[in-house]
Amino acid sequence: MKGLWRTGWQLAPVMLAAAALGVAKPTAMPSPGTINYIEGQVALNGQALPRNSVGSALLETNQLLDTGQGKAELLLTPGVFFRVGDNSEVRMVSPGLADTRVELLKGSGMLEVTELFKENDIAVLVDGTTTKIEKRGLYDFNADLPAVSVLDGEATVGRGDAHVTLKKGHEILLANGEAFKSQKVSKAIVETDPLYRWSSLRSQYEAEANINAASTVVVNGGWYGPGWYWDPFWSFYAFLPGDGILYSPFGWGFYSPGWVWRAPHYYHYPVVGRNGLRAAPAVAGPAVGMRSMGGFHASGGFHGGGFGRR
């Protein structure tokens, strides 16, 4: 993937727009299962979802999300995105913050895990197996083959008493009655997969929204700790880490407001915010911005570099 840097003056219009729009005050932290983006034909429990349902529609326990010629992005725990491909069906098993489980009944799904705490228990069920996520990374699921692939990170795949640790760059075909046997993921197949390419683009957009949200928090306040922040510019939730920088498995940076404030070569320029003329932050040089550091490596596996609430 080609890298992209956005530096001081390039960031200015983005930060200016974010400051002018402001941060929506939270009423509640979005729950796991919140639908963050839809494209094409998407239905919740058989009812078609309109575009303006993004951010408010929720996949609750035992409810089904179906896609026809369409795709959807669900929020799980903060920093964890579950994306669903065309002609797919997902059931919410458990929407708890400490016990988050979804089941892919048909089609394809991809899990991007940018933040993972030891208290998190995140799992995806496919064809009678449970894949427990052990590390930050990128995980691909196919209920039609069926198969589980670890593109980056590490997971434990289990069925009954049989369990296997699946490391990055490897996959398991889940044919009924066969013993678990991992094999290397095909780079050529993955990089041409429509859901992979769509997820990569969504990850980039999420990183753009993170810059908006982090910059807006620095300018206008509204910091309520790490988590999901509604971005009115993009009209979906952005993820803000609590401190420093996190990198998605696709290599895009997610910046905390504190890091933006402490960034080197920090200076101010005037903008018009909600309360009139005030100083807004910007960064001279490549301290803040979008940089893709990820991609599939020939050695196998994927490698990355590494507003709240509506």
Q: How is domain 30-186 classified at the architecture level of CATH?
A: Sandwich (2.60)
Band of residue 120 on the pLDDT scale cut at 50, 70, 90? very high
- Across 12-41, average pLDDT: 66
Number of C-beta neighbours around residue 46 at 10 A: 8
pLDDT digits (tens, 9 = 90+) for 159-173: 988 899 999 999 999
Among 161-170, 204-213, 249-258, 264-273, the range scoring the smallest mean pLDDT is 264-273
What is the rounded CA–CA span in Å between residue 215 and residue 11? 10
Predicted TM-score (pTM) of the model is: 0.81
Q: Where are the alpha helices (DSSP H) in the chain?
A: 8-21, 187-192, 194-220, 257-262
- pLDDT of residue 196 exceeding 70, the answer is yes
Find, among 149, 155, 159, the residue nearest to 196 by Cα: 149
pLDDT for 1 equals 36
pLDDT for 176 equals 62
Percent of the chain with pLDDT over 90: 62
Among 140-149, 166-175, 257-266, 277-286, the range scoring the smallest mean pLDDT is 277-286
Rounded to 5°, the CA angle 91-200-167 comes to 70
Band of residue 101 on the pLDDT scale cut at 50, 70, 90? very high
Find, among 5, 58, 100, the residue nearest to 310 by Cα: 58
The contacts of residue 233 (CB under 8 Å, 6+ apart) are 17, 18, 21, 209, 212
224-251 burial, b if ≥16 CB within 10 A, otherwise e?
Answer: eebbbbbbbbbebbbbbbeeebbbbbbb
pLDDT for 260 equals 82
pLDDT for 191 equals 86
pLDDT for 143 equals 97
Find, among 6, 23, 2, 15, the residue nearest to 217 by Cα: 23
Among 122-126, 134-138, 183-187, the range scoring the smallest mean pLDDT is 183-187
Band of residue 275 on the pLDDT scale cut at 50, 70, 90? very low
Residue type for position 253: G
What is the rounded CA–CA span in Å between residue 134 and residue 116? 8
Band of residue 267 on the pLDDT scale cut at 50, 70, 90? very low
- Across 29-41, average pLDDT: 94
- pLDDT of residue 197 exceeding 90, the answer is yes
Phi, psi of 128 (to 5 degrees): 80, 5
Find, among 232, 175, 247, 235, the residue nearest to 53 by Cα: 235
Find, among 115, 122, 73, 74, the residue nearest to 97 by Cα: 122
pLDDT for 309 equals 37
Residue type for position 64: L
3-state secondary structure of 61: coil
